[in-house]
Each structure stands twice: as structure tokens, then as C-alpha cells.
Amino acid sequence: MPEDLAIFIDWENIYISTVTEYKSKPNVSAILEKAREYGRIVSATAYADWTDGDFRQAPPTLYSNGIAPRYISARYFPGGKSQKRRTNSIDVMLAVECSDFLHKHPQVDTYVLVTGDGDFIPLVSLLRSQGKNVVVIGVSEATSYHLIESADHFVSYASLLEEDRAARTPNKQPKKKAVDPYRELVRAVETLKNGGKTRVLGQVKQQMIVQLGSFDERNAGFKKFKDFVVEAERRGLVNTVDQDLELQVYLPDEQVPADPQDADLASEEPKEDGARDGARSRGNGRAAREERQPDRQQQPEQKPGFDLLEDLTPYEFKTVCTSVASLEQPATFVEIFSSIRALDERGELELSREEIGDVINAMLEADFLNKVRQKPYEAAKADMTFYALNPDKQEVKTALNGG
């Protein structure tokens, strides 16, 4: 008898992701069909503000497919170019109702979360701690690679579309050639390298999913992705290095940073395509310090003409400062980047990844953030670079005091 299964859909997240990446609305039938492979669907709920113009037509389709639309009103507040939505209540409501469902329906063994939002990692951890199997369905290019790693299974939305097309035209689809997972691993690392992006394990696996539509290391005979990468290293295909508190993957002919003190924690955050070649092992776009000015700490480069107080409204600057101040000081570059990015994901700011990088770099340039070198934990062998908000700067003080 199949296990019971519950589906929770972050409709706004999956809708925006599919429209952005594939120029089409989410295929509800394909999502449900894939979910049924993991168990018997006993509950399915989708969360959104259904009065929004982009989502008004969805409820009838959801109802007809047995999915209950859960209405969460969006809230508005002034600031910036226009009124901006706050969608964080949708994430909170989904997590709360999923947790409530967990305790009321202990017979349900599998949970399917349709989202790419990394904010659901604590929910995934909660479900798994209660012995539940967690499946995440999301658009590979728009899904947090830490969310992918935290789940028991990740299903790429692209693979759903491919399976749906194959089912509709079974006689017209040519047989796929068997792919060499090790060759795809090398290709993934090369792609990330050429894009100036970080090569932590989660990011590498995410890239392989993008390339193949789906990838599961267990099909290659390994329990963990790390074991698969270590075997590739044994074969001389890649090199792995413990760097920035995570295992990173390099090509055999690459020069790997030898001194962990010089590794910047910003490398955990991938950069946009077209990054400079010199930023191979940095996620924030800086060339290696030892290649340029070995005796001087190099500030992250700032785009010409970017001015914090001119390009951000007072409200936006206050929101950024408050978000950074809420972190334990000093914080890593990644923590600061993620906190600002979370504001964008919740609709409190409208900033791209590149613009977030510009904001942080400008804060460093203006001494709103100060660099601090210290050990990340007591037993660490080397210091790391952290950043602390400078409350002595008048602009920061004004922002934090509600000015």
C-alpha cells in the first residue's frame, strides 16, 4: 500500500520561477503526477494572494485538480519607486500550517514542498527530524542549492516538462543516450568556473541537475553526492579542497588557493554570468589579493557612479541597515548578502543579485561596514574575514534610530 503524502505549494514562488525561466505558467498536472510516484496524495494546498492579477485565474484549475487554494493577503507599504509587496506572510503561513498538519496527521509519511525558497530549510529539517520523507519540486535555476541538499529528494521542474512531453508523444521521442555522470560533473565544474561562480558541493549538484534535468547520485551507486565527487577525484577528474568551511570542487589544472586565511567567505554566493576571469575563487568579484596588492587589504570593487544615499531611498537604506544589524556581529559576507536577498524575496526591496553586491561594496567603501579578522570558532586554525556594521557613522546611526 502506498504511503500517504501531503503537498504544500508556494504558488507565488513556483509561478514566478516558471514564468521567468520557461515563459509559461506552472503545469499543475505534471506536478501532481510526479508527486504520486512518492505516495497517495491525501492533502494538497497552494498559497498565494489570489486577488493579484497574475494569480486570479489559477484557483479554478487548482480546485479541479484537488488542490485547495489558500488565500494570504498581501500587505503594502510605501518606499522606493512604488508600493512594494510583502510576501513573507505566505512563507510563514505555509510553514505554520505544514507544521500543524505534521502533528495532526502522523500517518502521513511524505511531504512534497513545491518551492525554491531557501527559507524553507528549517521546515525541511523539522519534517525530517520527525522521520518524514521530504521531496522538493522546484525550478533548478531558481532553487536554493542549500534547500536541494537539505531535502531527501529534489525534482527539477524541467524534468517534469520533459516527462510530460514524452508521455504525449511516446513514438516520436528518440531514445536518450546514457550519460556519463563523471563527464557531466566535469562539465558542471567547468560551467561554474567559466561563470565565475563558486563550486561548493550543493552548487555543483544544482548545475548537474540543470544540465541533465534531474540527477541522483544513488543511481550512480553512491549514498551521498560527496562520495560521488570523491570518487571522481580518485579518478583524477576533479580536485576537492576544504575552503571557507565547505568542500569546494576544482578542475585538475586549476590553481587551488593554498592559504585558507586568504579565502573569502563571499565565495559561497555565486556571481552573475560574465564575471571577471580573475574572480575564479571569489564569489564577490574580486581578483586574488596576492596577484595584485599582497601587502594591502583590497576593498571589493564598486561600480562607478553607485551611491548608497542617492540610489537607495531613505526607507530602503534603513531597511538594509536594520537587516544587517539584526545579524550577530560581526557577520560573514554570505550572511549579510543572504539577509538583504531575503528582503528582496519577501518583497521589501527590489534589488537584483548584482545590485545587492553593489550595496554591500558601497557600504564597505563608505565605512558603514568594517572588516574584522577573527576565528570563526575556537578550534579553527585560521582567521576569517567578517564584517561589522559601524554604528558610529552618522548615516547608520540615523537609519537604526528610525530617521
pLDDT at 174: 56
pLDDT at 99: 96
Average pLDDT over residues 350-374: 83
> Do 125 and 185 sit in the same domain of this protein?
no
pLDDT at 285: 34
pLDDT of 249 over the 90 cut = no
> Do 284 and 313 sit in the same domain of this protein?
no
Alpha carbons 81 and 92: distance in angstroms, whole number? 26
pLDDT of 289 over the 60 cut = no
Alpha carbons 144 and 140: distance in angstroms, whole number? 8
pLDDT of 264 over the 50 cut = no
pLDDT at 61: 92
Grid cell, residue 389, equals: 556594521
Asked whether the beta carbons of 136 and 17 are under 8 A apart, the reply is no
Domain span including residue 162: 4-168
Alpha carbons 72 and 61: distance in angstroms, whole number? 18
pLDDT of 68 over the 90 cut = yes
Q: Kindly tell me the sign of the dihedral angle through the C-alpha atoms of 152, 156, 162, 167.
A: positive
Highest mean pLDDT among 53-67, 141-155, 255-269, 276-290: 53-67
Can you give the CATH number for the domain in which 159 is found? 3.40.50.1010
Cis check: omega of the bond before 330, within 30 degrees of 0: yes
pLDDT at 268: 41
> Do 133 and 66 sit in the same domain of this protein?
yes
Can you give the CATH number for the domain in which 268 is found? 1.10.10
The DSSP bridge pattern shows strands 108-114 and 133-138 to be parallel
> Do 288 and 204 sit in the same domain of this protein?
yes
> Do 31 and 133 sit in the same domain of this protein?
yes
Domain count, the chain: 3
pLDDT of 124 over the 90 cut = yes
For the question of whether the overall pTM of this predicted structure is more than 0.75, the answer is: no
